[in-house]
Structures are given as C-alpha cells and as structure tokens.
Amino acid sequence: MKLITVIGARPQFIKSAPFSDVFRKKHKEIVIHTGQHYDKNMSDIFFKELRIPEPDYHLGVGSGNHGFQTGRMLEKIEDIILKEKPDGLLVYGDTNSTLAGALAASKLHIPVFHVEAGLRSYHKRMPEEQNRVLTDHISDLLLCPTKTAVENLKKEGITKGVILTGDIMYDTVNRFIKLSNSRYSKDAWLESLKAENEVIPSDLQEKEYYLATIHRAENTDDLKKLQIIFSAFEKLDKPVLIPLHPRTRKLIDKLNIKFKNVTIINPVGYLLMLYLTANAYMIVTDSGGLQKEAYFLKTPCTTLRDQTEWVETLEYGWNMLSRIEVQTITKTATRKLDCLKHSQAPLFGDGKAAEYICQAILKRA
Ligand code: UD1
Ligand code: UDP
C-alpha cells in the first residue's frame, strides 16, 4: 500500500514516530512536511532524536495568517497527490497542516485517515476546534484515542469508519522514556539546560520546580492574559521553568516583566522534555499533548484553559483547569495533590495505537 502522511507542527512529528516505524516495515509511506514549524528546535531536533524518516517533500510554507498558511499548503499538497496517486492520506491532530492535508485528499477522492479524531472542546472560536471538526467530517477512517472521542463523533452522527485505537502519544512516551532517563538522569538534565541557555538557576532540583508551556492562541493573542499568567508564575512557591514556544517568546518581550521566579528557556527536544515532565513537581500548560504526557508520567497538571479535550486526565484531580486569573492559577497550582494516592485506569489504551492504526488502514485500503 502507498500512503501519504502530512505533518508540519511539533506534536505531529512526535505522533508520527511510532506509526512510521510500524507501517514502513512492509509498506510505502511518503511523508510531506508542510513547514508550518521550521525552527531547528521546533522541527529538525525531533526528526533526529526520534529517528523519524526524512520527509520526501518539504513544502516550506512557514508562518502566516490561517487562510494564507492553509491555502498554500492545500495547493502544494494537491500537486503531490496528483503526482504520487496514493491509496490514502494520513493526518494527525488539529493543526492547519491537518486540515490542508485532509481537504486536498478529500477533494481528489483519496481516502482520509485521521489520527486523534473525535476530540472536542466545544469552543468554536478555537482554530484547532475548527480544524478537527472539519477534518473529522471529511475523513474515511476516524482513529480515536479515547472512548470520549468515539462518543463525541456519535453525537455528530459519525459512526462509520470510527475505530478506537488508544492514544498514539502514549506509544511515543513508552518508546522513548528509557532513552530519556538514561540520557538525562543524575545531573545531565541540568548540564544540558545550562549548555543551551544563559540563565539556569543553580538550585533547580527534581520535583521542586513547575514546568510550564504557553502557546495557545486564546492565551497569547491577548497581552493582558499573558501578563496575568506570568504574574501568577512569579507568585508560585517553586521556580517555574518555561521552554517557551516562539509564538509566545515574540510577545513576552513586550510585557517588560523582570522575572525572579520564572526562567524562560528555548524549546527543548522531546527526550529532555520527557525528563523534565517526569521530574517536575507539576506541569502548568495550555498544551494538549503535555496534559496527556503529564498524566502518563504521573506528574500532576494545571491546565490554563476553560475546557480540555482530554477530560480523562481530570480524573482524581491529576489535571485541573484554571481560569486566567492570578489567584485562581496560584490556588490551583498549589492545591493539595491527593491525586498522587490514586492509581490510574488505562484510559488511553495499551500503548499499541500505532499497530491498531496500521491494521485499520490496511483493512480499509
Ligand atoms: C500550531 C497549531 C496548534 C498546535 C501548535 C503546536 C494551528 C492553527 N495551530 O500553533 O494547534 O498546538 O502548533 O506547537 O495550526 N513560529 C516560529 N518558528 C516556528 C514556528 C512558529 O517563530 O518554527 C512563530 C511564528 O511567529 C508564527 C507563530 O509562531 O507566526 C505561530 O505559529 P503557528 O504554526 O501559526 O501556530 P502555533 O502557535 O505554533
Ligand atoms: N515539547 C517538546 N519540547 C518543548 C515543548 C513541548 O518536545 O519545549 C513536546 C511535548 O512534550 C509534547 C508536544 O511537544 O509531546 C506538545 O506540543 P505542543 O504543546 O507544541 O502542541 P499541542 O500538543 O498543544 O498541540
């Protein structure tokens, strides 16, 4: 079978690693990198660390408004589909790269396979919600990470082609956690942070720091919200380490805050990120993927949003949502961590999502 896979943003590289590995053992996969993310530490580093095959096509689309970015991708992906004549096209998640890939294939009557189908925040203004709803409605296979996702699709009348596979990010974590530990345990994580960044506090200790990430449009488009988030971080009872997304980095300088408790660093590779996540006191984030990784690695999480698509992580308070208010953020992040007394149910599958996705695609082809 000949499959085209479209990826373009950091979490998609991470999700693609286990599937590409399984699928390529017997079948042909052609990878298109849209170029949505292009900085070295937002793209190349993941291909190297996770041994993801080099893309067959690099579209170099780069940043821009939604219409511009999605439109350029659509045009270029269409040309490649016409040339390669694949049996199907695979997309991950809910970025503009996802929608462009799905739309290009659907219009040419090429079956669309959507990994991470069925997620909903029911927040219509969110660009990711628009991308995922549209993608789901033109997909032929809807590969769902959770039972909730299957139910969400049912509510929209989508039952054909829906398959519960478990979460592909769980596969990636399981594959790489040992390597992450062997590379970064003892003081190697600190040495590595110091080598790449100018100001790392010397007293940073495992389980004694918050690890935070912020990049979601709803939190970054409004500078007042960013100001509130960073003011709350300054008030937390432990140092806050933030590998900052370039989108937010560009805005933060405008805030002119003198940080004492917050250390901003460049985005890190996946292996170091896993280590930092597993050894943090708590994750504070608006990322989708990181909420799950926190849960997989049994690190409590505070999510700086009004909704989450990953409702399973809220069980026993492993993850808690916080409105963007200084007091609410600090209160939620310093809550009593009763969740640590509870074991977790296997709500994200058995870590073999890549195999189930592969089987489903081959059966459909
Ligand atoms: C995108 C996805 C989001 C996902 C996130 C993962 C959409 C609509 N959003 O958001 O769902 O959670 O990726 O990280 O697809 N930039 C750089 N260098 C890069 C990439 C981006 O400087 O390598 C800067 C640019 O100024 C760009 C901004 O970040 O304008 C936003 O990038 P973009 O890809 O549009 O959206 P993300 O916020 O990354
Ligand atoms: N991540 C990483 N380095 C960083 C920040 C995040 O490797 O500096 C990883 C993180 O562990 C997770 C993924 O990137 O696997 C999440 O991507 P992001 O938060 O950008 O997107 P989202 O999941 O919100 O779509």
- Identify residue 48 by its one-letter amino acid code: K
Q: What are the tokens at 298?
A: 């049994």
Q: Is 291 in the pocket of ligand 2 (CB under 6 A)?
A: no
Q: Tell me, what's the pLDDT at 154? A: 98
- Residue numbers of the chain with a pLDDT score lower than 70: none
Alpha carbon distance 283, 295 (integer Å): 10
Alpha carbon distance 321, 323 (integer Å): 7
Query: From the alpha carbon of 93, which atom of ligand 2 is closest?
Result: 25
Cα 82 to ligand 2 centre (Å): 32
Tokens 């089987």 — which residue?
Answer: 359
- Taking each continuous run of H as one helix and of E as one strand, the counts in the chain are 15, 13
For residues 145 and 167, the answer to whether their CB atoms sit within 8 Å is yes
Query: From the alpha carbon of 66, which atom of ligand 1 is closest?
Result: 8
Q: Is 50 in the pocket of ligand 2 (CB under 6 A)?
A: no
Question: Strand pairing of 240-243 and 262-265?
Answer: parallel
Cα 37 to ligand 1 centre (Å): 6
CA atoms lying within 13 Å on the CB side of residue 111: 16
Q: Tell me, what's the pLDDT at 95? A: 98
pLDDT in tens, 16-36: 999 999 999 999 999 999 999
Query: From the alpha carbon of 216, which atom of ligand 2 is closest?
Result: 24
Measured by CA distance, the residue closest to atom 19 of ligand 2 is 287
CA distances (Å), 236 to each of 193, 262, 290, 303, in order?
Answer: 21, 9, 20, 15
Q: Is 96 in the pocket of ligand 1 (CB under 6 A)?
A: yes
Give the ipTM. Answer: 0.99
For residues 345 and 315, the answer to whether their CB atoms sit within 8 Å is yes
Cα 195 to ligand 2 centre (Å): 21
Active-site residue identified among 58, 215, 245, 342: 215
For ligand 1, mutation pick of 38, 126, 245, 293 (most atoms within 8 Å of CB): 245
Cα 13 to ligand 2 centre (Å): 10
Q: CA 205: distance to chain centroid?
A: 26
Per the annotation, the verdict on 215 as an active-site residue is yes
For the chain, the maximum distance between any two Cα atoms, rounded to a whole number of angstroms, is 57
Mean pLDDT of the chain: 96
Q: What are the tokens at 41?
A: 């530490």
Q: Tell me, what's the pLDDT at 172? A: 98
Q: Is 10 in the pocket of ligand 1 (CB under 6 A)?
A: yes
* 250 CB-contact burial (10 Å; exposed 0-12 / middle 13-18 / buried 19+): exposed
Q: Is 132 in the pocket of ligand 1 (CB under 6 A)?
A: no
DSSP 157: T
Q: Is 250 in the pocket of ligand 1 (CB under 6 A)?
A: yes
Q: Is 33 in the pocket of ligand 2 (CB under 6 A)?
A: no
Query: From the alpha carbon of 285, which atom of ligand 2 is closest?
Result: 19
Alpha carbon distance 156, 273 (integer Å): 36
Element (H, E) at 106: helix 96-107
Q: Tell me, what's the pLDDT at 255? A: 79
Measured by CA distance, the residue closest to atom 10 of ligand 2 is 290
Tell me which ligand sits closest to the C-alpha of residue 8: 1
Q: Is 40 in the pocket of ligand 1 (CB under 6 A)?
A: no
